[in-house]
Structure 1
Amino acid sequence: METRSAKRKKMAQIVENDAKAATDRISDLPDAVLHQILFLLPIKCVAQMSILSKRWKFLWSTFPDLDFTTLNPFQISSQSVKFLEFEKPRQPLDSSRMDFITQVLSIRDKHSDIRFLCFRARLSFSRLNSLIRRAIRHNVRELDIGASTVCTDDYFNFPRCVIGSETLRVLKLKSGFRLPPSSVMRHGFQSLQTLSLSLVILNNQPSLPDLFSESSFPLLKTLNLDSCLGLKYLHVGCRALEDLNLERCYELEGLDVSCSKLERMRLAKCFDAYSDKSWVKINTPKLERLCWQHNAITDMTMFGPSNLLNEVTVGFYVFTRDNILGKLQSAIDLLSGLSHARSLSLERQTIEILSNNHLLFQPFYNLKHLELHTGFNKSDVPGLTCLFKSSPTLDTLILKIIHEYRIERKEWNRDLWDMTITEGEQYWESQIRTLESFLQHLKVVKIHGFLDYENEVALAKFLLKHGKALEEMILHTGHCNARDTLRRQKIRSQMMGFSWASSNAKVAFQ
C-alpha cells in the first residue's frame, strides 16, 4: 500500500515534469536566431508579438530587418499603431499614413543598428528626409525606398547624409530628386556596393563624366540607373563594377563604359531614334552578358571584345526604313563586335533589318545557342538565312514566331499525292551549299508558334531532310479549333513521312 509520503513525492514529480514541458524554449534561443525567424513574418505580426513579454518587446525594439512593404499604407490608421505604444509618446500621434513607420523608428533601441529598411508610401519631402536621417543614425546597411513605391508631388534634393555613410552597402531610391554637384558626391559612398537610382533630375547637369569613377565608388559592384531625365552623356569607370543596368534614358546621346571587371551589362529603351549623333564606347574585357534591348542604333565601338562573352540579346528600335539607312554600318559593327558570343538572341526588328539590307558581318564561330524572334514572313527569310550562314557550329536553334493576323499567309495545302515542290522548299534547297556546316552541327530545333504555314513547314522539312546531326525537333503549335486540328493532323502525318537525314532525329508536337 502506497504511503502518503510516496504519494506526495509522486505528485511533486508530476508537477515538475509538467513545468518543464511548459517551458518556453523559443524564448531561450539567441537574439540573432529569433530575428531570423521573425524576418519570415509580416512586420505587423512581429510588432504585435512584442506585447508577449519584456523579452519579445526587446526583440522588437532591436529587430534589424524592417520591411514595411507588407503593409498597405492606405489602410493604416491611428488604431493600427496602438500596440506600439509601450511608452507614452512625447508627441501625440497624427492620422497620416506614415505614423506606423515613424512610430517604429522612434521606439527603437538607441544602440540597435538597422540591417534592412524598405518602405512604400506617399509622403512629403521633410518626412522622407527625416526617415532617411533616422535610418542613417541607426547605421542602416540596406536602404530601399523605391521600386515604384515612394511617391511625391514634386522633386527634392538628394539627401546628403547618405553620401557620407560608412555603413551603407545598398541604396535603392526611386522618387523625383536632383543630384548634388559632382564635387560633393565625388568622395562619398566609400562603402557602397549596390546603387539603384530612378527618376533622377539632371536638367542642369546633363553630363556625368566623372561621377561614377574609382574615387567616388571604389567598392561599387552593381549600378542601376532608370529614367534619368535630361541625361545626355554618361561615363562609367568604377573599377569594381560587375553589373550595369541602364533603362529608359531616352535623351542619352553618348555612353562610355570602361570597367575592367564588368561581367553583365543591360541597356534598354535608351537613345533617341531620330538622333544621328549618338555613340557608345565599350571597354569591358571580362564581359559575359550583354542585353541591348529596344534601343536606337548608335555608333558602336568595342575595344577588345571579350572572349568570355556568353549570352547576348540584341533588339534595335527603329521607326521607319529611312530612319536606319545612315546607321547600317553601326548595326554591322555591333554584330561583328559580338562574334565571340556563345548564346545569341535577336528581336524581331533586327531580323527585318538584316533581311531588308543584306548586311554582312563576322561569323559567330563560337555560337552554340541561337534564339530568333520573327514574324516569319517571306521578307524575313533572307535575314534568317544570313544568320544560319553566320553560325557554322550552331547546336540549338529556337524560333519564336510572332503572328499578326492582319498579314495574310500562305497555308501548307498539299495533298498526300501531290509531290510538287513549293516556292519555299525551292529557296531552301538552293541554299544547301552555303549552309553545309550549319546543317552538319545543328542538333536541336524548337519552333514556337508553329501554325503550319508554308514558310514554316518548308523550313522544318528542309532541316529534317538535310540536318545530319539533328537529334530533336519540337514544334509548339498552340491551341486550335476542331477544323484546324483535323488539318494539322494531316500535315503532321505528312511531315512524319518526309525523308530524314539523321536516323537519331525525333519530332514532337506540343
Structure 2
Amino acid sequence: MQKTRITDLPDDIISYILSFLTAKQAAHAQIAAKKWRNLISIIPNREFFVPKSKISGSLNDFVKELLSLHANHRLRRFSLKLPDEGNRPYYNPVNYCLRNVVKRGVFDLELDINAKENYPLPLEVFTCKSVVTLKLGSGFVIDAIPQDISLPALKTLILDSVRFDSLDGRCVFQRILSACLVLEELIIDGRSSDQWNWSRTVSSQNLKRLTIRRIGWYDDDDKTNSEPISFDTPSLEYLEYHDVLRDGYPVVNFNSLVEARLKLPLIFQGDGYDLTNLIQGLRNVQILRCVHVHTMMLFHSFSEAIPWFEHLFHLVVRTDDYICWVPLRNVLEKSPKLRTLTIEGCLHFTHQEDPGLGSVCPCLSGYSFLMLCPIETLKITEFEGDVDGMVHIKLVLENLPCLELLELHVQARTDRKLQIISDLLMLPRASSK
C-alpha cells in the first residue's frame, strides 16, 4: 500500500489539519517545513451568531477574542450574523470588528446584520484586496463608498435584501460592479420592489453567472416597478431571472449565454411592456427553463420576437391543464436542434366530459407540430394515465419520429402503473428507436 506524505496533500487540507495545532506546536511546524509558514497563518473560520437577548455582551467578548489573534493571522472565512436590535448599540463594535477582519486579509466575508437604513457599513469593506466572496445582508442601504473603491480579487458578490442609494448623482451599485474586475457571479436576492436609486443597468464584462430573485411580484405603492432594465453582460453563461415584466430592455447582451431560468408572470405595472429585446437576447441559449406557468405565454404575446434558437437542445416548461400550448409550438418551430423536452406539469385538455379525441385542444392540431421536431427525450412529470391522457400520448408517439425515451411520472398504485405500462407498450410509434 502506497503511503502519502502530509506535504503531498493539497494546501486546503494541510491548512485544516494545522488549524488544530497549539501555538507551540505551530511554531515547531513552521521550522519543520517552510511550505507551512503561510498556511499556519490562515485561520479557517470565525463565525458569530447569538440570540438577540445576549448580543451586546457576547459581541464584545467575540471582538476581544478576534483582537487577541496574532496580527499576521489571516482569516479564510468570517461570518457575522446579528438579529435586529431596536436601539442598535452594537454598530461601533461591529464596524471595529469588520475593520480588523478586512485588515487581516479575509477571503470569504458574510455579513447578515439585519440593520436598517442608518447603518454605516465601514468603507474598508469596499477596499479589501483579498476578499473573494462577499455576502451582504439584510435590510440596510449602501449610500456611500470610498473614492478609491477596489475589490480586485472578488469573484462572487451576494446581495440579500440590500438596497442602494445614489452618490453625487452617480450609481453606487454600478460603481461597485466596475470595481470588481474579476467578478464571475452576482446574486441579487430578496427584493420585493424596485426602490433602488440606481441606473437600472447590470453591466459587467467578465460576469459569468447572474441571479435576480424577487420576493413579491408587484407593489401597488411603487410606480417604478416596471421601468426598463438593461443587461450588458457579454460573458454571461448562466441567468436566473425572477422579476415583474418591464416596460422595456434597452440593452440585452447575452452573447455567451448557455442556460437561462426564467420566472416572469403576466403581472405588470406599466402602460405597455416590451420584452422584444429580452427574448431576442436568448438566441444563443442551450438550456432554457420557464419555471412559471405563465412564462411561456410571453412567447405567444411576443411571437414575432422569437429568434432562431440554433443551439437550444433542452427546453423545460411549466404547464397547467388550462394553459394553451401555442407558445410552446412557437418555440419548437424555431428550435432545430432540440433534443430534450421536459414538461413540468400535465398535458393540455379541453375539459370536455366525453373522453376520446374531444379532449385534445384545437391548439394542439392533433400534435402534428411535433412531426418536424428532432426530440429524442420527452419527460412529463404529471401523468394521470386515464383514457384522455392515453389519447394524447398516442398522438405524441405517432408524431415524434426521433423519440428514444418517453419518461412519465405517474402517481398511482403499483397494479395501476403496471396496467399503464402495458397500455403504453401497445401504442403505435413513429420512431423505431
TM range (shorter): 0.7 to 0.9
Cα offset, 1:380, TM superposition: 2.2
Aligned to 1:301: 250
Cα offset, 1:466, TM superposition: 1.6
**SS at 1:296's partner residue?**
coil
1:280 and 1:300 in contact (8 A); partners too? yes
Between the aligned partners of 1:427 and 1:204, the Cα distance in structure 2 is: 50
Between the aligned partners of 1:164 and 1:215, the Cα distance in structure 2 is: 13
Aligned to 1:212: 174
* Aligned with 1:54 (options 10, 24, 48): 24
* Aligned with 2:328 (options 384, 387, 408): 384
Aligned to 2:120: 157
Query: C-alpha deviations, 1:425-459, integer Å up to 9, x for none?
Result: 77645552x54321xx1100111122236665444
Aligned to 1:67: 45
* Aligned with 2:232 (options 275, 280, 283): 283
Cα offset, 1:374, TM superposition: 1.1
Seen in structure 2, the aligned counterparts of structure 1 residues 200 and 208 have a Cα distance that, compared at 3 Å, is farther
Is 2:247 aligned against 1:247? no
Cα offset, 1:37, TM superposition: 1.4
State how many pairs are aligned.
402
1:375 and 1:401 in contact (8 A); partners too? yes
Amino acid at match of 1:314: L
**SS at 1:279's partner residue?**
coil
Between the aligned partners of 1:38 and 1:73, the Cα distance in structure 2 is: 28
Between the aligned partners of 1:100 and 1:187, the Cα distance in structure 2 is: 33
1:393 and 1:437 in contact (8 A); partners too? no
Is 2:429 aligned against 1:496? no
Amino acid at match of 2:72: H
Q: Which runs of 5+ in 2 are unaligned?
A: 30-39, 84-88
* Aligned with 1:350 (options 282, 295, 298): 295
Aligned to 1:224: none
* Aligned with 1:326 (options 239, 262, 272): 272
Aligned to 1:437: 372
Is 2:281 aligned against 1:337? yes
Cα offset, 1:151, TM superposition: 3.9
Between the aligned partners of 2:58 and 2:352, the Cα distance in structure 1 is: 60
Between the aligned partners of 1:398 and 1:206, the Cα distance in structure 2 is: 49
Between the aligned partners of 2:324 and 2:137, the Cα distance in structure 1 is: 41
Aligned to 1:424: 360
Amino acid at match of 2:106: R
Query: C-alpha deviations, 1:394-447, integer Å up to 9, x for none?
Result: 1100010079xxx99668x86xxxxx6334177645552x54321xx1100111
* Aligned with 2:16 (options 28, 36, 49): 36
1:447 and 1:476 in contact (8 A); partners too? yes
Between the aligned partners of 2:388 and 2:272, the Cα distance in structure 1 is: 31
**SS at 1:212's partner residue?**
helix
Between the aligned partners of 2:168 and 2:406, the Cα distance in structure 1 is: 51
Is 2:399 aligned against 1:471? no
Amino acid at match of 2:294: Q
2:159 and 2:187 in contact (8 A); partners too? no
Cα offset, 1:348, TM superposition: 1.1
Structure number with higher relative contact order (C-alpha < 8 Å, ≥ 6 residues apart) = 2
**SS at 1:299's partner residue?**
coil
1:189 and 1:217 in contact (8 A); partners too? yes
1:318 and 1:324 in contact (8 A); partners too? no
* Aligned with 2:204 (options 252, 256, 259): 259
1:264 and 1:290 in contact (8 A); partners too? yes
Of 338-347 and 255-264, the range deviating more from structure 2: 255-264
2:102 and 2:124 in contact (8 A); partners too? yes
Is 2:100 aligned against 1:134? yes
Cα offset, 1:280, TM superposition: 2.0
Amino acid at match of 1:436: M
**SS at 1:267's partner residue?**
strand
Seen in structure 2, the aligned counterparts of structure 1 residues 304 and 490 have a Cα distance that, compared at 3 Å, is same
TM-score w.r.t. the length of structure 1 is 0.66
Of 492-501 and 248-257, the range deviating more from structure 2: 248-257
Between the aligned partners of 2:91 and 2:172, the Cα distance in structure 1 is: 28
**SS at 1:114's partner residue?**
strand
Cα offset, 1:140, TM superposition: 2.1
Between the aligned partners of 1:358 and 1:154, the Cα distance in structure 2 is: 40
Is 2:262 aligned against 1:314? yes
**SS at 1:384's partner residue?**
helix
* Aligned with 1:395 (options 332, 339, 346): 339
Amino acid at match of 2:313: K
Between the aligned partners of 1:326 and 1:215, the Cα distance in structure 2 is: 30
Between the aligned partners of 1:496 and 1:282, the Cα distance in structure 2 is: 48
Aligned Cα RMSD in Å? 4.2
Between the aligned partners of 1:315 and 1:255, the Cα distance in structure 2 is: 19
Between the aligned partners of 1:459 and 1:107, the Cα distance in structure 2 is: 71
Between the aligned partners of 1:463 and 1:140, the Cα distance in structure 2 is: 60
Between the aligned partners of 2:420 and 2:340, the Cα distance in structure 1 is: 24
* Aligned with 1:375 (options 320, 328, 332): 320
2:226 and 2:245 in contact (8 A); partners too? no
**SS at 2:241's partner residue?**
strand
Is 2:84 aligned against 1:107? no
Between the aligned partners of 2:13 and 2:226, the Cα distance in structure 1 is: 57
TM-score w.r.t. the length of structure 2 is 0.76
**SS at 1:247's partner residue?**
strand
Seen in structure 2, the aligned counterparts of structure 1 residues 121 and 102 have a Cα distance that, compared at 3 Å, is same
Aligned to 2:91: 125
1:289 and 1:309 in contact (8 A); partners too? yes
Amino acid at match of 1:326: G
Identity, % of aligned positions: 18
Larger radius of gyration: 1
